[in-house]
Structure 1
Amino acid sequence: MTDTVEDVRKGLPSASAFGRLALCPGSFTMEKSCPDESSEAAAEGTLLHRYMEYLLLKDDAAEEGMEFSWHDFLNSREYESAELNHEQVELCGRALRLLDDVKEKILDYPDAFFSLVSTEERRFLSDWIEGGEYSGQWDALFRVGSDLLVLDWKFGRVAVDSAEANRQLEALVPLAAQKANEEGIIYNGIYAAIIQPRVAGPASVTFYDDEAISQAEQDSLAVARAAVDPDAPRYCSEAACRYCRAKAVCHEAAAMVEQASLIATDRDKWELFSPAEKVQAYHLAKTAKKWAAAVDYRFEQDVAAGLIPGFEMAPGRTSFTVTDPSGAFSVLSAEFPDEVTAEAFAGCCKVGITELDRLVHAARKAADPKATTKASREWLRQLLAEYGESKTTKGSVKEVEGGAA
């Protein structure tokens, strides 16, 4: 972990990892000695969370008759300047629409107020009798009529556990109750919601009454106690290892990879495996891929640092992309007017449908503010049907209830 993360979380378990820690308590201690792994997805997630915080604070300021700009927000938080592309702005817009749906679903009477309490606030919870302490940071906390709503944005493309089964949300609920009690906010219960704008379907919402809040506190503190136990066991599984930074050095993960390579019964044909054995092999193989990717990452870092004799990083390949096709055509057609015609140049071009989607949607939205991204995509494909082709990628495996045990 970086020094900043350690300082913010004080070296304690964080609610964001509780889904993993509940499955593998020992991963907490192992991860503390592992470096952070940066990725484009993580960087985008940070940017999108910042923008959502800005949008909520902007709406809150507007109710007070105040103006609040994106750059003012970045400066107030001492963030580096960053801009979102059109697709990311649209994604955040969908997130807000999903939040509006949540509001309509949970408001207990027509004129009930909905007000922002805080954004991106980290709090700590301790049990001085039984022991155990952890922290958690919600993305937003609202007052909703006579209740509270604690909210978590998820911008990944893979659906996370539902709000009812989500350990991170479960751990955030007692922290929200703690804040409300400290600040004299009266509430009957706490709603907890996960909004995933990249995943089809509505937001996932659940409700905690007093008894459920108390149980959530006990269960979350139990996870924290187990995680900081120096003898905490490690249990390797696809779900536990998915986001664990320690899997490259974990003996249990390595053993599972070995098991995946030695799957065998007294039958030597896949067709003779039982459905349960095929499921086991499938999950082992997925875990092995994640372990291999983690080892690759750590190994490349060491090679780049000159720590592995006999290995070095080969230079990356340099690619060149024409970003201004109009300018490129003007230059080339002037140089070779007979050869580089408009038709010949167009034959060298490949239109990026994602970029074209953005351009067309922006044009349609300017003409009709109610135009949706989905409708613009469908309209564009119908219009250009004779000039292009559609391809369907291979589907992916999706686990459903009632499968092989």
Structure 2
Amino acid sequence: MGEHALLSASSSHRWLLCTPSAVLERSREDKSSNAAAEGTAAHELSEHKLREFLKIKTIRPVSKYDSSELEYYTDAYVGFACELISEAYARSSDPVILVEQRVDFSHFVPEGFGTADLMAVSDKKMEILDLKYGKGVQVSADDNPQLRLYALGALAMYDYLYDIESVRMTICQPRLDNYSSCEMSVSELLHWAENELKPKAQLAIKGEGEFCTGEHCRFCKVRATCRARADRNFELIKLDFQKPALLTDEELIEVLSRVDELKRWASDVWAYAEEEAIAGRKCWDGYKVVQGRSSRKYTDEAAIAEAAIAAGFKEEDIYSVSLLGITAMEALMGKKLFNETLGDLIAKPEGKPTFVVGTDKRKEYNAAMEAFGE
């Protein structure tokens, strides 16, 4: 495991909004997950490919996540990164290109450091690129504190060598086809660092300031037992769900605006209680740990096939072959060839009407207009 800063760049969106959270999170161990491990594999393979492009000695990493999908999406990221590198060379004859570079921003954030996936430093402009391999939550570069912290660290390293006027910060999330960029002047970045970042970092390192709950709680390590989050959700629970007809429209809107967070909070509390009970650390009155249901599985498929054939069954009876799914087929063929070869054979039916928040970017569905069109 690598070294992690208490006030890390990756968690900055959380501790900048809820300054006491960082110190509280320190009491909980980091937990590995399949998604995190897959993301690490994607970063390592991308680093190798970029080093190859830059003619830097490298050894291809080996991972259990190696697949055509991993190849496809890391190629997409590296292709985008190479375009940024080419632009840097067009601006300057001697740009600095750094891959997986540790940056230090402790002049604004106590003990603050992080690792930037790609930095391209040249006259006039500096590029910061961050790979997000996850596909659960789309990430935007707008007002992104993680990217800004990387930029501050890069400025500390190279501002004296180059006449850097602006920083372009980009999120590349290839599995969601999300390429989000935000550009700001160096003076704007430094103003934010002095007037917003630095004061909040001073509170966060001491565990001081006001608790603030919201979407940023999603990956907080103390989200299940946080009292501020519980108090916020208990306010909603106090409403009488047994008699929804007696709620006013305003009350219903309040419920709707918080129901997703309420469900996530309840899920987090359940997961925490379950983990503690299974580990034997706690007993919860009225609950117990039982043996869950399991499914049968083959212990040796080759031996199973051999025994079935010996019993008189044919190979075609015991084996079945199915066509690759659309995502896997696209990864296998590549987007261009996939569209040229199979585009006319792929259908995408209209999605079912779905109730969402008003800020959702999708066009509003109108049932009357749909019926009229038909």
Work out whether the TM-score is over 0.5.
yes
3-state secondary structure, aligned to 1:298? helix
Instruction: Identify if the C-alpha distance between structure 1 residues 390 and 217 changes in structure 2 by more than 3 Å, giving closer, same or farther.
Output: closer
Q: 1:379 to 1:400 in 2, by over 3 A?
A: farther
C-alpha distance 117-25 of structure 1, shift in aligned 2 (>3 A): same
2:72 maps to 90
Distance 1:68 1:185, change over 3 A: same
Matches within 5 A, 1:4-403: 8-9=4-5, 12-61=6-55, 67-71=57-61, 82-100=64-82, 102=84, 109=90, 115-127=96-108, 132=110, 134-144=112-122, 146-181=124-159, 184-201=161-178, 203-218=179-194, 219-237=196-214, 239-263=215-239, 268-269=244-245, 273-274=249-250, 277-309=251-283, 311-315=288-292, 317-320=294-297, 332-333=308-309, 335-337=311-313, 340=314, 342=316, 344-345=317-318, 349=320, 351=322, 353-354=324-325, 358=328, 362=332, 364=333, 372-373=334-335, 375-376=337-338, 379-380=341-342, 399=357, 401=359
Number of the residue aligned with 2:366: none
| Conservation of the 8 A alpha-carbon contact between 1:304 and 1:313 | no
Letter in 2 for 1:166: N
Between the aligned partners of 1:98 and 1:303, the Cα distance in structure 2 is 47
Relative distance call for 1:321 and 1:41 in structure 2 (3 A) is farther
Counting aligned pairs with the same residue, the percent is: 18
Count the aligned residue pairs.
Answer: 356
CA deviation after TM superposition for structure 1 residue 329, in Å: 6.4
Preserved CA contact (<8 Å) 1:303 1:313 = no
Secondary structure (helix, strand or coil) at the match of 1:191 reads: strand
Give the unaligned 5+ runs of structure 1. Answer: 75-80, 365-371
Distance 2:170 2:197 in 1: 17
TM-score norm. by structure 1 comes to: 0.73
Deviations 1:285-330 (A, max 9, x none): 22222222322332233223222347335256244269979x9767
Alignment CA distance shift 1:245-1:204 (3 Å): same
Checking the alignment, whether the CA contact within 8 Å between 1:245 and 1:294 is kept in structure 2 is no
Rounded Cα–Cα distance in structure 1 between residues aligned with 2:115 and 2:358: 31
Query: Are the aligned partners of 2:7 and 2:110 in contact in 1 as well (CA < 8 Å)?
Result: no
CA distance in 2, matches of 1:36, 1:91: 27
Contact preservation (8 Å) 2:81, 2:129: no
Q: CA deviation at 1:352?
A: 6.1
Q: CA RMSD in A?
A: 3.9
| Equivalent residue number for residue 369 of structure 1 | none
CA 323–361 in structure 1, closer or farther in 2 if over 3 Å, else same: farther
1:88 counterpart SS class: helix
On the 8 A contact 2:128/2:167 being kept in 1, the answer is yes
Q: Which runs of 5+ in 2 are unaligned?
A: 362-374
Contact 2:120 2:127 in 1 (8 A): yes
Shift of residue 197 of structure 1? 0.7
Q: Is the 8 A contact 1:303 1:312 kept in 2?
A: yes
- Does structure 1 retain, via aligned residues, the 8 Å contact 2:122–2:162? no
SS in 2 for 1:33: coil
Distance 1:390 1:208 in 2: 39
Using the alignment, how far apart are the partners of 2:7 and 2:273 within structure 1? 27
Distance 1:123 1:46, change over 3 A: same
TM-superposed CA distance for 1:378, in Å, is 7.9
Separation (CA, whole Å) in 2 of partners of 1:155 and 1:396: 27
Deviation for aligned residue 1:36? 2.0
SS at match of 1:242: helix
**Which amino acid is the alignment partner of residue 151 of structure 2?**
V
Per-residue CA deviations over 1:187-236 (Å, capped at 9, x if unaligned) read 333221111112234x2122232311312322322331231244322111
Partner of 1:368: none
Distance 1:374 1:280 in 2: 46
Native 8 Å contact 2:92 2:122 kept in 1:
no
